[in-house]
Chains A and B, each alone.
Chain A
Amino acid sequence: MTTARPDLAPPGGDVTGVAATPGLFDDLARASLAMARRFAAGATLWCVSPGSAFHAHHVAVEFVHPVIMGKRALPAVVVPPGTDVVASLRATVRPGDMIVAVAALAEGDVAEAMRRAPAWGVETVWIGAGPRPPGGAADHVLWLDATDPLVASEQFVRVYHLLWELTHVCFEHTGLLRPETCEEEVCITCSDEGRTAEVISVDELGEALVRTAEGRERIDTSLIDPPRPGDLVLVHAGSAITSLEEDRR
């Protein structure tokens, strides 16, 4: 067990006096450990950047073919530019995978893919600049204050380079790569308070086939307005208890 590190500077964004968004380095650290854990468990990283495809290609090549000799090759894949991001990811991601997007808030269907990721069992990292996504839009939001698009683009490269570097540091901490165990008194997953599900199909009796992080299941939908294929719902004890589409229509 490693002892506490009183010698370390307290975690904070601007620990070095360099202009970076407050909290960025802590967010990077948490995202890197999460990514290392998922990679260790067999994840594939799906890379998306609808407006600037070169960023997605850059992220993928960093992980697949590291610039530092001896570092392991990791599965990272570009979501082909010009494709329907949601449809492409829905068809290819597996539970346990990750998505990293390099995109502005309103760029392409990134926000929509991120929203659906919990139903697919996928952890999300969103790198961007400008207006910040609302809380909970992705598991890890690595956001920059840069207003000039070229400066922002340069800083994105730094962010994903650091993401790669820190992820590989985490691989050397094998004791910390095991899946997180649940220590909270009330855990949403364990208590089944409500899991996100994506509706695949609905039959005439109000039963729906849905996709969740745990796989496909049949649920009852009589407690909510009839959902449509593609809708997100919250599932509890075999029933849809809330539609996640109501505010969106």
Chain B
Amino acid sequence: MSPQGTDFLYPFIEGDERDAPSLLADLARSAGAKWEQSSRLRKETLARIDDQIRQAAAAMARCFEGGGQLFVFGNGGSATDADDVAQLFTKPPRGEPLAARSLVSDHAVLTALSNDIGFDVVFSRQLEAHGRPGDIALGLSTSGNSENLLMAFGQAARRGMTTVGLSGYDGGRMADCEALAHNLVVRSDSVHRIQETQAALAHALWAAVQTEYRPHEGAA
């Protein structure tokens, strides 16, 4: 058995077992426990950083009011969250559509940058091309350590953009990143549970932006 296995969580593992109902009961119980863990983390996190969410949302709303747009990015599952956020802002189920783009969706740009320079620059280089003062850079990472996010926040700050990050564990390197103005941390050490609460956090952030957003007359 691999030392990385989860057998310590499931003590009835046997190579020759035939009792599927027993395993199924065990799996259902485990799923229920993890579901409850996720619900608790979601609730605790949204309550703990409520002020931070409001502050980040207010800063973002001011950018949108000034004609700014949102750039969202992340790696792996967080890349899919970035797509979720971009879709939510541009095609919201309620409220105002706001200008947002995912930086993970153009495979030509991603592969060109990775091939020619390296994966660390895939987001920062795009912000160099698109980002303007008054825009927003929103990066998601469960570890808080992704080099390409840290480089993107640096680039965004230099360009006068508002920077917002979603991270996990203790915030990782994003916690010490001076270029990152708002770091919303999901305190957990399970990547899956962090990601589940980050999805809720992103949705809460969107809802708070909708509440804060007051377009000026004459704005586009």
Binding site for B on A (CB under 8 A): 1-5, 8-11, 14-20, 24-26, 28-30, 32-33, 52-55, 57-58, 61-62, 65, 67-71, 149-150, 153-154, 157-158, 161-162, 165-166, 168-170, 172-176
Binding site for A on B (CB under 8 A): 1-7, 9-10, 12-20, 22-36, 38-39, 42, 76-77, 79-81, 83-84, 87-88, 93, 142, 191-192, 195-196, 199-200, 203, 207
Additional 16 contacts, C-beta under 8 A, given A173-B17, A173-B23: A1-B16, A1-B19, A8-B25, A8-B26, A11-B25, A25-B32, A28-B28, A58-B81, A65-B76, A69-B4, A158-B196, A162-B34, A169-B10, A172-B1, A175-B14, A175-B18
8 Å CB contact of A28 from B4, B31, B200: B31
Q: A57-B80, A67-B192, A161-B192 are in contact. Are A2 and B28 (CB under 8 A)?
A: no
Q: A9-B29, A67-B192, A173-B14 are in contact. Are A55 and B80 (CB under 8 A)?
A: yes
A24, B27: Cα distance in complex, Å: 12
Residue contact B199 to A157, C-beta cutoff 8 Å: yes
A46, B10: Cα distance in complex, Å: 29
A166, B19: Cα distance in complex, Å: 16
A24, B76: Cα distance in complex, Å: 27
B residues less than 8 Å from A176 (CB atoms): 17-20, 23
Q: List 6 A-B contacts (CB under 8 A).
A: A3-B19, A16-B33, A16-B36, A32-B27, A158-B196, A165-B192
A20, B35: Cα distance in complex, Å: 8
Closest to A17 in B: B36
**What DSSP secondary structure best describes chain B's contact surface?**
helix
B residues less than 8 Å from A149 (CB atoms): 93
Q: A52-B87, A149-B93 are in contact. Are A175 and B15 (CB under 8 A)?
A: yes
**What DSSP secondary structure best describes chain A's contact surface?**
helix
Instruction: Report B87 CB to chain A, min CB distance, Å.
Output: 7
A15, B19: Cα distance in complex, Å: 21
B residues less than 8 Å from A158 (CB atoms): 34-35, 38, 196
Residue contact A28 to B27, C-beta cutoff 8 Å: yes
A176, B83: Cα distance in complex, Å: 38
Instruction: Report B70 CB to chain A, min CB distance, Å.
Output: 16
Among A70, A157, A170, find the residue whose CB has the most chain B CB atoms closer than 10 A.
A157
Residue contact B24 to A11, C-beta cutoff 8 Å: yes
Residue contact A16 to B32, C-beta cutoff 8 Å: yes
Among A20, A154, A173, find the residue whose CB has the most chain B CB atoms closer than 10 A.
A173
Instruction: Report B180 CB to chain A, min CB distance, Å.
Output: 23
8 Å CB contact of B39 from A18, A26, A169: A18
Residue contact B83 to A57, C-beta cutoff 8 Å: yes
Residue contact A154 to B30, C-beta cutoff 8 Å: no
Residue contact A153 to B84, C-beta cutoff 8 Å: yes
A54, B22: Cα distance in complex, Å: 35
A61, B10: Cα distance in complex, Å: 25
B residues less than 8 Å from A161 (CB atoms): 192, 195-196
Closest 7 A/B residue pairs (Cβ): A70-B4, A29-B27, A54-B83, A58-B80, A54-B80, A15-B32, A25-B28
A61, B191: Cα distance in complex, Å: 14
B residues less than 8 Å from A3 (CB atoms): 19, 22
Residue contact A2 to B14, C-beta cutoff 8 Å: yes
Residue contact B83 to A5, C-beta cutoff 8 Å: no
Residue contact A166 to B31, C-beta cutoff 8 Å: yes
Residue contact B192 to A15, C-beta cutoff 8 Å: no
Residue contact A52 to B28, C-beta cutoff 8 Å: no
Closest to A72 in B: B2
Residue contact A173 to B80, C-beta cutoff 8 Å: no
Closest to A149 in B: B93
A residues less than 8 Å from B192 (CB atoms): 67, 161, 165
Instruction: Report B82 CB to chain A, min CB distance, Å.
Output: 8
Among B2, B3, B20, B42, find the residue whose CB has the most chain A CB atoms closer than 10 A.
B20
Q: A58-B80, A150-B93 are in contact. Are A168 and B26 (CB under 8 A)?
A: no
Residue contact A25 to B35, C-beta cutoff 8 Å: yes
Residue contact A166 to B27, C-beta cutoff 8 Å: yes
A170, B26: Cα distance in complex, Å: 11
Residue contact B76 to A61, C-beta cutoff 8 Å: yes
Instruction: Report B40 CB to chain A, min CB distance, Å.
Output: 9
